[in-house]
Amino acid sequence: MALNLATSLLSTLVRGTNGIQSTPAEEKPTELLQLYDIENCPYCRLVREALTELDLDVLVLPCPKNGERFRLELAERGGKAQFPYLVDPNTGVEMYESMEIVEYLFETYGGGPMPVKWKLGGLQTAGSMLASAPRMSQGMQAQTGAEPEELLELYSFESSPYARLVRERLCEMEIPYVLRNCGRTELKEWLLPPVRKALNITPESKLDNRRHLQFREGRVSIPYLYDANTDQGLFESSAILDYLQSNYGS
């Protein structure tokens, strides 16, 4: 587990502040966006970073290699098994190509053109490829599990090294889930949860998901998994991984 977390942390460090800070979208979609996704795919990462930065939730449809649950569905729907693939039921738009998706998200929901850093598409792609390298095949190969009747919800932000471990496992198991983005908007949110607790600091987040988690559980710590099938909520990546294996493992 220590080595697993160390390489996840390295992936986070490679991407700097990408996929951490959020500026909520000017307009939120009424219906959930849908993303056909492979967790350690460098192109998919770029889209998930943009979703975090815009504070947009998304239904993730995992498509690991050799997966049969959503890869085949996408091949029929879009004509090829290429990732990422975004479906926006609010506008009827469906599209491949990571940078085109990022541009679409900022123009449609961000209220303007994408930020300058995203216009350096080649540089962003190269950085994301470097971030994928430490994780190797994690989150890439199908180890299909049972599909829950009701969707799981994962409170996460893209560059969290702890949440990445959970997203990888969900991808391998081909379990669809609602990704509730919980980026940071306040300086105090950069403090680790144990430090915030020790100093009795409760940041007043601007984000609905963070406020909802604070109300539901009395604290905010990422990742957090809620399973409506069992009415259970769990913090801590190790506990969540054990839970997923026990309840949905093959």
Question: What confidence score (pLDDT) does residue 101 get?
Answer: 98
Q: Which CATH number fits domain 2-15+29-152+162-181: 3.40.50.410, 2.30.180.10, 3.30.230.10, 3.40.30.10?
A: 3.40.30.10
Question: What confidence score (pLDDT) does residue 227 get?
Answer: 98
- Determine the Cα–Cα distance for residues 225 and 236; give it in Å rounded to an integer: 9
Question: Token digits for 49?
Answer: 């970073």
Q: What is the pLDDT along the chain (250 residues), one digit of tens a residue?
A: 788 889 998 999 999 889 999 988 888 999 999 999 999 999 999 999 999 999 999 999 999 999 999 999 999 999 998 999 999 999 999 999 999 999 999 999 998 898 999 998 899 999 999 999 999 888 889 999 999 999 999 999 999 999 999 999 999 999 999 999 999 887 776 666 777 777 777 777 889 999 999 999 999 999 999 999 999 999 999 999 999 999 999 7
- Domain boundaries, given as residue ranges, for the chain: 2-15+29-152+162-181
Chain-centroid distance of CA 196 in Å reads: 24
CA distances from 54 to 29, 58, 80, 108 (A): 11, 11, 28, 11
- Tell me the three state secondary structure of residue 239: helix
- Determine the Cα–Cα distance for residues 57 and 179; give it in Å rounded to an integer: 6
Q: Which of 106, 87, 85, 89 is nearest to 43 (CA)?
A: 85
Question: What confidence score (pLDDT) does residue 158 get?
Answer: 97
